[in-house]
Amino acid sequence: MFGDFFSRAIIAGTGLAAVTGPLGCFVVWRRMAYFGDTMAHSALLGVAISILLSINMTLGVFLVAALVAGALLLLQRQATLSTDSLLGILSHSSLAVGLVLVGFLTQVRIDLMGFLFGDILAVSEQDIFIIYGGGIAIIALLAINWRPLLAATVSPELAEAEGLRPEVSRIILMLLMASVIAIAMKLVGVLLITSLLIIPAATARRLSATPEMMAVVAGFLGAVAVIAGLFGSLTWDTASGPSIVVAALAIFLVSLAVPTARLFGRRQDHGA
């Protein structure tokens, strides 16, 4: 009934949602939405550098995103500017430098709109292997570091008192975000990655009683948004990446009508 390209898009998109959902919970809990934008914007710089150096694009995007995260940590220690100012500088600078470098690559044809907004319908079997292989690794690392990450999110001071090293947890979280941005770029584009991280997690927060259940619900809602967005894109001939984000937004708006009592899991008090 549907072409292979559509089936591959659903498989890739749902696999990505299973990763962005749990990781997005920490973005919401830590109020790191602007940080997510900063790392997403750096992806275009990673694309340009990858082409210049003839290296794997996914690897190049990851390395640049990780370097931007490291630069933020170093600049924060200088304590000369607020974090939001530093994020603004890094976000717009990395995007601008990336666009300038792309302009110099006249010998290479670059689909700039594809990188900005993604093209999930063009995903290949190799891309699916990268998404699921990288996704399994990210989820595994997230599960292994769940307790220290959650403790550092609730109270860095208490986490440090318990010997959990919140600064290390923060670095791990930044590297995981760099990884998911690298594998998500081709699907939803650098301008929409943060939406896929934030909107399902924000929706799940209203419906879940525990942090663990919120992570599961966020992944599920992200997958629903991917499927609904792709079918909507097919029906109304709209761009696939933005359609997925619009579907996620629609689910969030519907969730606003749900009473504040959590639907999934027993209600527990937690700091996240």
Q: CB burial class (10 A; 0-12, 13-18, 19+) of residue 271? A: exposed
Give me the CATH number covering residue 106: 1.10.3470.10
Q: Please report whether residue 86 resides in a domain.
A: yes
Query: What is the pLDDT, as a whole number, of residue 270?
Result: 46
Specify if 17 maps to a domain. Answer: yes
Q: Give per-residue pLDDT as tens, 181-237.
A: 999 887 888 878 889 999 999 999 989 989 999 999 999 999 999 999 999 999 999
- pTM for the full predicted model: 0.91
Q: Which domain holds residue 164?
A: 4-255
Asked if residue 263 is part of any domain, the answer here is: no
Quick check: is 25 in a domain?
A: yes
Task: Report if residue 260 sits inside a domain.
Answer: no
Residue type, 75: L
Residues 79-122: pLDDT tens digits?
788 888 999 999 999 989 998 998 888 777 777 788 888 889 98
Tens of pLDDT, residue by residue over 193-208, are: 889 999 999 999 989 9
Tally of domains in the chain? 1
